[in-house]
Structure 1
Amino acid sequence: MRLALGLSYRGTAYKGWQSQPGGGTVQDALEAALGRFAACEVRTVCAGRTDAGVHALNQVVHLDIDRERENYSWVRGTNTFLPDDIAVQWCQRVPDHFHARNGARGRRYAYLLLESPVRPALESGQLGWTFRPLDGARLRAAANVLIGEHDYSAFRSSECQALSPVKQLREISIRRQGAVWRLEFEGSAFLHHMVRNIMGCLIMVASGRRESAWLADVLASRDRKLAAPTFMPDGLHFLGPRYDAEWALPERTPPFDALPADTAVLAF
């Protein structure tokens, strides 16, 4: 049978999602825990690979298994063998033609950014940081430049394996709660480092060091060398994929309630 799992994790201690020969990834930890619980070898496919240091609130994976367990047993049993910073949130049986990655109609990320003269301490690893004051109106204007279907080569890592740099960025929403900015990105799919490279550019404009026209030129150039440096991974959270309603998979998990600035809407 095929199972879909929803997974949350803090990515600080891991080398990203994708399994590596030396271990140390989220996929390695999950498959090891599933293998111990099911007493067999398990392989998983995820909805969206995350980089080293990037977190997830509802990463969706699928796996094929011939062991019969109740859904809640897959959650609690697997979590018994997972480290404290990774947890299965839900389990659901799905038809064999469901595919966690290929079946996703969209993906969502949130970037949390602390605007403060002082670096993060208690929240270290969970937030990005800028000591420069940001202007909300400039931030919104810069974000609007990027909406639509474009060739995002200027924001693409040299290690990106995507077949095409053309993606559809459907929405960038901006909220603020105190010193914490929350930017949410929703798109058809994302290139390697795309959100972090966009964040570097947005901060350049919002802090007054560049104009929105510069960002439009960067996008049109399709040249990574013209964009800002890749921003830190700390504040990036994979909120999860979007699927067709027929699958009836959860799009929200309890960790969403712990993420700062979930409801405070920024007024310009």
Structure 2
Amino acid sequence: MSYKTIQLEIAERKATLSLNRPQAMNAMDFTMMRELAECFESLHNEKDVQILVVKGEGKVFSAGGDVKMMVASEDFSDFGLIMDTITRLVKAYYTLPMITIAQIHGAAAGLGLSLALGSDIIVAEQPSKIAMNFIGIGLIPDGAGHFFMKERLGTVQAKQMIWEGKVHNGEEALALGLIDHNVAEGMAAVAVDQLVGKLLASPILAMIETKGILHQANLSELEFILQGEALGQGKMRQTVDHLEGIKAFVEKRTPVFLGK
């Protein structure tokens, strides 16, 4: 299957998926969301693949959702379809019967960070800019960002980090528990290759079975949060603060929020 915004390569027991909109900092427009959903769903049929590495082409992993797409769809006519597609891609990714690894360099923000956090293992370079920054445009996390932040940080810290929207480098993200490995700039690919080699030399079928048991147990909560995010995001998309946030983003100025 060929894609416009992503690339998938399969070599024996390993697959590599590259987000491929480097000219847009791998921001996720609807086409990329749909292609990710289709790709993850198709990978469920690749019985020989035991590891999936997700990375970004160009200078960053992913800057998150495409804000220009948000501005263009202010009539909300396609919002339900967008959220349904995000739900599809998250559930397909979370239930993959393989070990998933996010290879982060540059920015991993918003929906891009939600995708990375859905991985079993996260490797990030020290200068990376890791941020759950939906709050900056008056939105809540989607892509199951609430679920994955809670899994890694616990409820209280997840809330506070989502509210703050702060940008963290690799060292800070590791200390917080957001990522699993912090490596030097330019070394993420090498570190991931070494990790893949170690995993493929391990009893990986047992590891995948453990993942399946734990993820299946959490699936109902994941679905509940995805539904809540879709409803909550719909409300937030219609607020004055969100409209101000995206306009300020496009105009490259500090937003003035009114709590409306």
User: Which structure features the higher share of strand residues?
Assistant: 1
TM over 0.5: no
Highest RCO, 1 vs 2 (Cα 8 Å, sep ≥ 6): 1
Query: Highest CA radius of gyration, 1 or 2?
Result: 1
Superposition TM-score tier, normalisation by shorter sequence: under 0.3
Greater helix share, 1 or 2? 2
